[in-house]
Structure 1
């Protein structure tokens, strides 16, 4: 049975709150309920009756497969559209699917390399350029 928007959001919240060591709040806007593990976002629940979606991290290949299989799964809003997907109410969006994508997102974020082991970012608008002397 497909979930309505409010049930989709509540299911995602319950799935996230059942996971260890999470925090959540509204750091960006009151309409975005953001869930984090180890200080990194793994779930965003949009608290807007006109846009009842959740956004989760997903491996790019898996994300594209989900987008092809479900009309209400789209590239993620708010974050990098290649690595995030948004799910809205629609045919085939079940409690089990929501639980699975929330847990998968949590695992991806938690298993990612620590900041100290990531390659350095190229200089650009979001990263200060190194000054040469």
Structure 2
């Protein structure tokens, strides 16, 4: 999967794309409920994205289907078991070869969708068209 980012994005760009995508999704809130260096994105109180605010550790952490998470870890050197959260259902993505804008966008959107699926129907945001 190629993108204008070529072989892969740097950490700053990866995080900017993740923040941009998250902010475009319905009913997303952002804050720092855990520590000062973690931006946490939620939908209806459910975490779906964590972005570090540390120049020495430019990663994003997203929710993922366990089988997809395993495949991504096998395919990309900079995709690892989720930092801070359940290692089966979360992955952390760092900059590197193959980490494109398209991949980052898909991962954030998929994470959001997984979080929304856990919500009672009446708490779910309207679907996007």
Matched, 1:96 2:98: no
Partner of 2:124: none
Matched, 1:29 2:71: no
Shift, 1:10, TM fit: 0.4
Q: How does 1:51-66 map to 2 (within 5 A)?
A: 51-66=57-72
Partner of 2:84: 78
Q: Secondary structure at the match of 1:44?
A: strand
Q: Which runs of 4+ in 1 moved over 2 A?
A: none
Give the structure-2-normalised TM-score: 0.87
Partner of 1:130: none
The count of residues paired between Structure 1 and Structure 2 equals 114
RMSD of the TM alignment (CA)?
Answer: 0.7
Larger radius of gyration: 1
Q: Which runs of 5+ in 2 are unaligned?
A: 1-5, 121-129
Aligned equivalents of 1:109 and 1:54: distance in 2? 16
Q: Which runs of 5+ in 1 are unaligned?
A: 115-133
Give the structure-1-normalised TM-score: 0.84
Aligned equivalents of 2:119 and 2:87: distance in 1? 20
Shift, 1:38, TM fit: 1.0
